[in-house]
Every structure is written in structure tokens, then in C-alpha cells.
């Protein structure tokens, strides 16, 4: 029974790419393969030449055996010549094996070295892309670039070109020889080869590429559904929705199975037919039937069939590798395209690290700042503001107004599209990465801890910090007592013997920011994931953190920022109001409406607490 499920976005039957789009996609993949493989092109060319010679050597022994057989059928038999021909055939086979081994060793050595170099280049590339690039992608996607896509290039580097050369040279040499024997039988021998290429072309047709694209999207949807199902199982079971969650997961799996069936079955049928027409048995049948007919017509001598039966049957074997490698070739082409696009990702222009002047005050100015993502629509427009040392400025506004985007421009998660951001009059694009992150610290809602010890996570802020400095920062962040209670204290491994709650992880990130001791600080609702017991501790830690610094706070809960020095109100990417809490409430504008919504939400929560 076939399960009908809704297709994921972009895979509806009416959403097929046009022929022009499919052609453009193939051209992009071809160019990407050429660019990605350019560093090893010379080595692969040399290996291909060796394979070409080895391919000739794979045909020559059969030609020598044919000549030996001809000699054996003559009278008298020149046994010395027969032994010489057989000995030469064995010697050429040994030479062919050696050449093949050298070529494969060379190509695999090139692949191993290139994979190492490419991974290093990609890792270096990822250190230069905007930090916001990572926020738009999961860790799984980044892993795919560095591991899966690089490994998918193995076939392109180590095998594809060598197999293509072999599949080209062997038939050409064989057919060239057979044409000298009898051109009519040679034309008959071409019939299975032509049939193979026609059938093989159907495997690589546009429909096959469309089905592969559909399957890839279903595969991605299944992976996402799996993660959602596992991560959310506690919630869905608590609300009695386990059946619904399971049905969504099952629908994704069924969709992938159906897509795999639609992808594989046509390929299997066509590939089976294409394999049959070049198998030695089928080719021999064609040659024998045609040869008998030609002998009956007096066109050829019976002995002329011998080279076709000995040499001609091997043509198909050299072509079969192309068919079995087609899937790996497509996967490698797609990986090459993704890696090519990654390497073309715009990078931050990073200044040299020499000659950095330490920031003395920490006055931050946004001057005519505009910014838009890849959509071309500006998220921020005409932002002018100044943040002064010793003050706390809060950003508020409706969802999607640009608060988080504006805050992420200051530590250069993205670069401004127009205008500039300065610290003490110096454009932040003139800072080296080290200098900028010694100047601007940040604590966001989504706490990121590396797989390592508590100490290693703290030392990310200041690698040279001693134990006393680490402890002072942890105490100020109200997290020291929790750390020393762990099995190995500061040497406890995150995710192993150190399991932290959301509030504890947030306090650890605050300790890290304290250890960095930056004059400018960006906070994104740092208590958002704190439990009620730890929220007070987080607030105390924040009080120690913001003292004397230039602080920009993204506020979602307005009651937490009533005492800040200034509040900026964003709406649709523009700065519409600014002032203190009391000043903004008195104007009756957007801030007042947001405050009323906040108060109503707090009232509802209080009512719920009273009824418990």
C-alpha cells in the first residue's frame, strides 16, 4: 500500500525546473567541479596519461594472443614465435598492472593531500565569514561542508577521470584494431555500444535529476523531523500529542521511501538493460550471429571471427564502470557546487592585527547605518545613535523590528550595508578580530558552550588568564559554588560530568564575559532561559558585568529595563522613539502600547500563580 503524504516545500509536481534552468544547473556544477579540482588538475592529468598507457596495455595482450592463435592454426607451427607472443602478452599484462597501480596510488595520494588541504582552507574560510553566517545554519550543515562534501569529492579526484580515460581508450584502441580486421563486423559490434550509451543517457536525463532533487529534499525533511521528534518528545507526550508527532515523523519517512522508490526504480530498470547489452555473453551472441551470416555470405573468413571474440568482448567491461560510478559522480558534482558556493561566500574585511590601539573610553556611534540580508530588503534604515561609557541603553520593539540585527552589527556578526559604526571615533572595520573582541563582548540568549571543560570554556575569553582571575569572574557571575560542587570542579567536562541548567549556562557565559573585561558589552535578554530560582542570581551577575561599561541591551520583557539610562524603540527597522522609561510612557506612542501588552501578560501570569 502506498502512503500518500504531502510533499515538502518546493517539490510539488508543478514545480519542475525548466530545461534552461536544468541546463544552467549542469553548467554551474561543471564549472564548480573545474574550479574545485583545479589544484589537483596537473596530478590527475599525469595519472590519466598513465592510465591511458595502461589501457592500451590491457588490449595488447589479447592482440598478441590472437596472433598466437593464428600461428597455431597455420602449418607448420612456429612454436618459438608462439612462445614469444605468449611471453610478451604476460609481460604487457604485468606492465599494465604496475601502471594501473601507479596511477591509482598517485590519484589517491592526490586525493588524500587535497582533502587535507581543502579542509584546512574551508576551516580558514569559516574563520573569515561573518559570525551571523553560523547563526543561519545548524552545526549539522557546517559538518556537511567540512566532512561529507569533502569526502564526496573522493570519487571525482581518485576515480572519475581515470575511469573515464580507461572507458574511452580501451574501446578506441579495440575498435581501431578491429576495423583493420573487418570493418563490417566492427560496425555490428558498435550496435551494443550505441544501445548502451542511449540507455545510459536516460539515467542521467532531466527527470532523473528532478527525482534526485525531490529525494534530497525528502531526506532533509526526514532528518529535521527526526530531530524535532526526539527533542520535543517530552513536550508532545506531556500534552498527549505523541501520536501527532509520530505521524509527522512517519509521514516524512514515508515520503522519503516513496521518493527513493521513484528515484531508484527507473534507474535500476534502465541500468539493468544497459548492463545487459554490453555483457560479454550478449556481445558474443551478436558477434556470432553476425559472423555466421557474414561467413555464409562469403564476406569474412571463419578465422576473422577470432579477434572479435577475444578482443571485442572486453569493450563492454570497460564501460560498466561509468554506469556504476554515475551516482557517485552526481553526488560529487553536487558537493563540488556547494563547496564552490561556500568558497565564494563574502568574507569580513579583517584588518591586520599589528598596531592595534587599545580602546580607552568605549564611545559607540551608529552613523547612518543601513543593513539588509540577501533578500535585498533593508532590515535597518537610517540608524543614528550614540552609546556612552557607564550607561545602559535598551533596545525594544515589536518582533521583527530589527533589534537583534542591530545588536549583532556591533560585534560584526554582519557588516553594515551603508553608514558606519565607530568606537572612540574608529570604524570597527579597522579593528582586527582580536582587537574587536577585546573591545566588544556579548552575552546572547542562545548560550554556546564548547565540548570541553568548564575551565576551557572560560578561557575562550582570555586564554592567558590564571586560576585566580577565573575564580573571581565565576564568583562575580554567581556560578563558582555550582562549579566547585561538580565532580572535578573547573575541570569537569561540559556534557559529561557537568550538566548545567539554562540559568547556570547563562551565568557561565556571563563569567566568560567578565573574564574578557571588554569596555563595550551587548546583552540579548540574558535572563530569557533562566529558571525563577536562578534569575535573581543572573541579574546579580549582570549587575557586576555592566558596571562602568558601555552596554547595549536587547529587551523582550520590558519590566527588566525600567531603570536603564535610555530606551530606544525600533519599528520596522527605523528608530521611532528614544528616552527614559517615564518619558516614553508619557508620550503615548509605540513604547506605551508595548508596555501595556507587557503589563497584561504579567497580570495573567500572576493570576495563574494565585490559582495554583
- What average pLDDT does range 157-165 have in this prediction? 83
Question: What is the SS3 string spanning 121-158?
Answer: HHHHHHCCCCHHHHHCCCHHHHHHHHHHHHHHCHHHHH
pLDDT band per the 50, 70, 90 thresholds, residue 541: low
Ordered DSSP codes for 316-332: HHHHHHHHHTHHHHHHH
pLDDT band per the 50, 70, 90 thresholds, residue 19: low
- Report the pLDDT value the prediction gives residue 209, as an integer from 0 to 100: 63
Backbone angles phi, psi at 518, to 5 degrees: -85, 145
- pLDDT top residue among 199 and 287: 287
pLDDT at 15 over 50: no
- pLDDT top residue among 574 and 449: 574
pLDDT digits (tens, 9 = 90+) for 86-136: 899 999 999 999 999 999 898 888 888 888 888 888 888 877 777 766 666
Long-range CB contacts (within 8 A, 24+) of 168-176: 169/51, 169/52, 169/55, 169/56, 170/55, 170/58, 170/59, 170/314, 170/315, 170/318, 171/315, 171/318, 171/319, 173/55, 173/56, 173/59, 174/59, 174/311, 174/312, 174/314, 174/315, 175/315
Pairing of strands 440-443, 520-524: parallel
- What average pLDDT does range 125-152 have in this prediction? 72
| CATH architecture assigned to 32-343 | Up-down Bundle (1.20)
- Report the pLDDT value the prediction gives residue 500, as an integer from 0 to 100: 79
Distinct helix (H) and strand (E) counts, the chain: 25, 10
Indicate the CATH number for domain 364-611.
Answer: 3.40.50.300
- Report the pLDDT value the prediction gives residue 609, as an integer from 0 to 100: 57
Q: Look up residue 126 and give its three cell numbers.
A: 569559516
Question: What is the SS3 string spanning 11-76?
Answer: CCHHHCCCHHHHHHHHHHHHHHHHHHCHHHHHHHHHHHHHHHHHHHHHHHHHHHHHHHHHHHCCCC
**Average pLDDT, whole number, for the chain?**
78
- Report the pLDDT value the prediction gives residue 482, as an integer from 0 to 100: 87
- What average pLDDT does range 340-358 have in this prediction? 66
- Report the pLDDT value the prediction gives residue 593, as an integer from 0 to 100: 87
For the chain, domain boundaries: 32-343, 364-611
Fold match, 32-343 / 364-611: no
- What average pLDDT does range 321-340 have in this prediction? 70
- Residue 292: helix, strand or coil by DSSP? helix
- Report the pLDDT value the prediction gives residue 354, as an integer from 0 to 100: 47
With residues binned 3-state (H G I as helix, E B as strand, rest as coil), the percentages for the chain, rounded to 5, are 65, 10, 25
pLDDT digits (tens, 9 = 90+) for 184-199: 888 888 888 888 877 7
**C-beta separation of 89 from 61 below 8 A:** yes
Pairing of strands 550-554, 392-396: parallel
The region that residue 572 occupies, defined by phi over 0 for left and psi between -120 and 50 for alpha, beta otherwise, is left
Burial grade of 538 (CB within 10 A; 0-12, 13-18, 19 or more):
buried
- What average pLDDT does range 6-12 have in this prediction? 44
Has this prediction a pTM greater than 0.85? no
- What average pLDDT does range 363-391 have in this prediction? 84
- Report the pLDDT value the prediction gives residue 94, as an integer from 0 to 100: 93
CA dihedral 108, 114, 119, 120 (to 10 degrees): 140
pLDDT digits (tens, 9 = 90+) for 162-215: 888 888 888 888 888 888 888 888 888 888 888 887 777 666 555 666 776 777
**C-beta separation of 207 from 13 below 8 A:** no
Residues whose CB falls within 8 Å of the CB of residue 262, separated by 6 or more in sequence, listed in order: 211, 214, 215
- According to DSSP, residue 351 is labeled P
CA distance 369 to 385: 9
- What average pLDDT does range 381-390 have in this prediction? 89
Provide the b/e sequence for 263-284 (b: ≥16 CB within 10 Å): beebbeebbeebbebbeeebbe
**C-beta separation of 214 from 7 below 8 A:** yes
Pairing of strands 378-387, 364-372: antiparallel
Q: How many CA atoms lie within 13 A of 24 on its CB side?
A: 5
Q: Which of these ranges, 47-51, 177-181, 219-223, 456-460, has the smallest mean pLDDT?
A: 219-223
Pairing of strands 566-571, 574-579: antiparallel
Amino acid at each position: 500500500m502506498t502512503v500518500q503524504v504531502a510533499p515538502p516545500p518546493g517539490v510539488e509536481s508543478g514545480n519542475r525546473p525548466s530545461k534552461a534552468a536544468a541546463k544552467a544547473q549542469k553548467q554551474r556544477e561543471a564549472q564548480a567541479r573545474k574550479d574545485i579540482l583545479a589544484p589537483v588538475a596537473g596530478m590527475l592529468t599525469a595519472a590519466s596519461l598513465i592510465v591511458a598507457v595502461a589501457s592500451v596495455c590491457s588490449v595488447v595482450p589479447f592482440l598478441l594472443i590472437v596472433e598466437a592463435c593464428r600461428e597455431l592454426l597455420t602449418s607448420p607451427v612456429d612454436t618459438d614465435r608462439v612462445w614469444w607472443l605468449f611471453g610478451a602478452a604476460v609481460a604487457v599484462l604485468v606492465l599494465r598492472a604496475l601502471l594501473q597501480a601507479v596511477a591509482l596510488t598517485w590519484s589517491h595520494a592526490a586525493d588524500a593531500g587535497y582533502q587535507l588541504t581543502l579542509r584546512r582552507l574551508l576551516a580558514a574560510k569559516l574563520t573569515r565569514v561573518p559570525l551571523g553566517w553560523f547563526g543561519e545554519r545548524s552545526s549539522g550543515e557546517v559538518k556537511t561542508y567540512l566532512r561529507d562534501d569533502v569526502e564526496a569529492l573522493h570519487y571525482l579526484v581518485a576515480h572519475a577521470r581515470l575511469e573515464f580515460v580507461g572507458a574511452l581508450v580501451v574501446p578506441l584502441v579495440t575498435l581501431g584494431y578491429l576495423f583493420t580486421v573487418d570493418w563490417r563486423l566492427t560496425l555490428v559490434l558498435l550496435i551494443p555500444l550505441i544501445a548502451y550509451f542511449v540507455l545510459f543517457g536516460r539515467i542521467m536525463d532531466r527527470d532523473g535529476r528532478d527525482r534526485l532533487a525531490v529525494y534530497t529534499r525528502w531526506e532533509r525533511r526526514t532528518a529535521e523531523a527526526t530531530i524535532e521528534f526526539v527533542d520535543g518528545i517530552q513536550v508532545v507526550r506531556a500534552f498527549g500529542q505523541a501520536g501527532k508527532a509520530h505521524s509527522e515523523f512517519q509521514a516524512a519517512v514515508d515520503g522519503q521511501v516513496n521518493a527513493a522508490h521513484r528515484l531508484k526504480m527507473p534507474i535500476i530498470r534502465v541500468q539493468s538493460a544497459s548492463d545487459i547489452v554490453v555483457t560479454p555473453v550478449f556481445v558474443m551472441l551478436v558477434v556470432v550471429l553476425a559472423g555466421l551470416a557474414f561467413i555464409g555470405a562469403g564476406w569474412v573468413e571463419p578465422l576473422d571471427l577470432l579477434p572479435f571474440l577475444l578482443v571485442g568482448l572486453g569493450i563492454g567491461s570497460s564501460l560498466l564502470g561509468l554506469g556504476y560510478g554515475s551516482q557517485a559522480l552526481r553526488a560529487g558534482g553536487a558537493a563540488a557546487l556547494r563547496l564552490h558556493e561556500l568558497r565564494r561566500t563574502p568574507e569580513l574585511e579583517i584588518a591586520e592585527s599589528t598596531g592595534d590601539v587599545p580602546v580607552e573610553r568605549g564611545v559607540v556611534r551608529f552613523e547612518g547605518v543601513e543593513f539588509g540580508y540577501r533578500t535585498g530588503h533593508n532590515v535597518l534604515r537610517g540608524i543614528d545613535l550614540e552609546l556612552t561609557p557607564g550607561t545602559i541603553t535598551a533596545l525594544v520593539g515589536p518582533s521583527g523590528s530589527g533589534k537583534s540585527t542591530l545588536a549583532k552589527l556591533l560585534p560584526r556578526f554582519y557588516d553594515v550595508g551603508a553608514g558606519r559604526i565607530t568606537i572612540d571615533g574608529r570604524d570597527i572595520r579597522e579593528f582586527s578580530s582580536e582587537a574587536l573582541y577585546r573591545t566588544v563582548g556579548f552575552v546572547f540568549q542562545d548560550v554556546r558552550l564548547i565540548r570541553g571543560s568548564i575551565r576551557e570554556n572560560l578561557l575562550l575569553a582570555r586564554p592567558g588568564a590564571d586560576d585566580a582571575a577565573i575564580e573571581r569572574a565565576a564568583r562575580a557571575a554567581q556560578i563558582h559554588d555550582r562549579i566547585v560542587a561538580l565532580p572535578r570542579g573547573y575541570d569537569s567536562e561540559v556534557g559529561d560530568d557537568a550538566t548545567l541548567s539554562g540559568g547556570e549556562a547563562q551565568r557561565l557565559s556571563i563569567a566568560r564575559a567578565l573574564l574578557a573585561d571588554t569596555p563595550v558589552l551587548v546583552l540579548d535578554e540574558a535572563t530569557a532561559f533562566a529558571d525563577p530560582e536562578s534569575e535573581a542570581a543572573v541579574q546579580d551577575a549582570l549587575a557586576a558585568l555592566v558596571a562602568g561599561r558601555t552596554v547595549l541591551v536587547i529587551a523582550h520583557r520590558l519590566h527588566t529595563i525600567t531603570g536603564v539610562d535610555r530606551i530606544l524603540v525600533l519599528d520596522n527597522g527605523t528608530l521611532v522613539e528614544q528616552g527614559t522609561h517615564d518619558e516614553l510612557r508619557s508620550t503615548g506612542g509605540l513604547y506605551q502600547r508595548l508596555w501595556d501588552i507587557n503589563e497584561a501578560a504579567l497580570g495573567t501570569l500572576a493570576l495563574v500563580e494565585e490559582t495554583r
